[in-house]
Chain A
Amino acid sequence: MTLSNTEIWIIIAALGIGTYLIRFSFLGLIGNRKLPTWVLRHLRYTPVAVLPGMVAPLALWPQATGGETDPARLAAAAATFLVGLMTRSVMAAVFGGAVTLYAGLYLLD
């Protein structure tokens, strides 16, 4: 990370304030007004719109291997996803991914 201490604190403070204002928005300022349907329709998809796009390059081109696709990490990503889909449990998915990652690193590297 090349950020200075000041820059890091600016990010933390701005995210803290921004996130608080999002949480406070209707409770504190806008009150009992309905969000338009089209806004709700988009908000519903914010987490699944951001996180997959963030993961895909990390899984395909891991930083630890200098961007080289790594079979152990790719297998761990696939296992996490599949266990998550099958069990619908976040912790089971993390566990499946971690076991696969360590088994893969042990067997393949």
Chain B
Amino acid sequence: MPQPTPRQSFLRGLCDSSPFLLVIVPFALLFGVVGTEAGLSITQVMGFSILIVAGASQFAALQLMIDNASTVIVLITALVVNLRMAMYSAALVPHLGAAPLWQRAIIAYFNVDQTYALSQVQFEKNPDMPLAHKIAYFFGTAAPVCPAWYGFTYVGAVAGGAIPPEFALDFAVPITFLALIAPALKTLAHVAAALTSVVLALAFAGLPAGLGLILAAVAAMAVGAQVELWQERRAA
């Protein structure tokens, strides 16, 4: 069998990640719409999508800004949402760690949920893939989703002002979050963490905007970790 070229690996990554457009495009549109409705300029909305490139944390930051949370609380909360990406970064090291620094710097920028998830599966399946092919595959997975994230944020931001209040866009963010949460409740530990987060966030609702959420999130993470540990011990 002839050895595939890096170009073919790139194209395979591109094909593998294209189905994600079904999710990326509406979310990007929605972020653009909700961002401009909240009072951000189009440039600022684009600043979010181009510099941060992380949907859930962008929506979280925006919601807290609408709630007039302090800048520090906006930053802490949105960065906590993105902490999982440290895990992605670590998981890619065995496969892409040998690339030159400038390439790793670019890879880091595109290390989002979709590119990570696809690449990780691909590299675990084919650990002997040459480095150039792994890099090409990774960039292939970024090629459709990242430009779509920027482009459709822009379309949403431009269209946003024209959408009348009858469409109840205020509720787009809660629905988006719930739609992300429900499929993520994979184990008892995830369910326990989510429940802790809900109960404590409601209990702390009287605290300054966002502070209760941070306390609830820290406690929820600890509960998730403890339940996982407890289940592991019971299984052993």
- Please list the residues of chain A having a beta carbon within 8 angstroms of any beta carbon in chain B: 1-3, 5, 7-16, 18-20, 22-28, 30-32, 34-35, 38, 40-64, 72-73, 76-77, 80-85, 87-91, 93-94, 97-98, 101-102, 105
Tell me if B122 is interfacial: C-beta within 8 Å of chain A: no
CB of A42 within 8 A of CB of B225, answer yes
CB of A55 within 8 A of CB of B177, answer yes
Tell me if B8 is interfacial: C-beta within 8 Å of chain A: no
- Per the bound structure, the CA–CA distance linking A38 and B162 in Å amounts to 48
- Please list the residues of chain B having a beta carbon within 8 angstroms of any beta carbon in chain A: 22-23, 26, 38-41, 44, 47-48, 51-54, 56-57, 60-61, 63, 65-66, 68, 71, 74-75, 77-90, 92-94, 96-97, 101, 104-105, 107-109, 111, 166, 168, 170-171, 173-185, 189-190, 193-198, 200-202, 205, 212-213, 216-218, 220-222, 224-225, 228-229
Known: A22-B86, A32-B93, A55-B177. 15 other contacts (CB 8 A): A9-B47, A11-B61, A15-B79, A22-B79, A25-B90, A41-B224, A44-B228, A49-B221, A50-B77, A50-B80, A52-B198, A54-B77, A56-B198, A62-B174, A80-B182
- Per the bound structure, the CA–CA distance linking A87 and B75 in Å amounts to 33
- Per the bound structure, the CA–CA distance linking A44 and B186 in Å amounts to 11
**Residue on A with the closest CB to B101?**
A28
Question: At the interface, is chain B mostly helix, strand, loop or mixed?
Answer: helix
- Per the bound structure, the CA–CA distance linking A10 and B65 in Å amounts to 12
- Per the bound structure, the CA–CA distance linking A34 and B90 in Å amounts to 7
**Residue on A with the closest CB to B219?**
A49
CB of B183 within 8 A of CB of A47, answer no
CB of B93 within 8 A of CB of A46, answer no
| Chain B nearest CB, measured from A4 CB (Å) | 11
Contact of B78 (CB < 8 Å), options: A2, A3, A15, A20: A15
The 25 listed contacts between A and B (C-beta, < 8 Å) are A2-B68, A11-B74, A11-B75, A20-B108, A22-B82, A23-B85, A25-B86, A26-B86, A31-B97, A34-B90, A40-B87, A42-B222, A47-B180, A47-B181, A48-B220, A49-B221, A53-B198, A53-B200, A54-B60, A55-B177, A64-B170, A77-B174, A81-B181, A91-B26, A94-B176
| Chain B nearest CB, measured from A10 CB (Å) | 7
Residues of B within 8 Å of A97, CB to CB, are: 175, 178-179
Residues of A within 8 Å of B22, CB to CB, are: 91
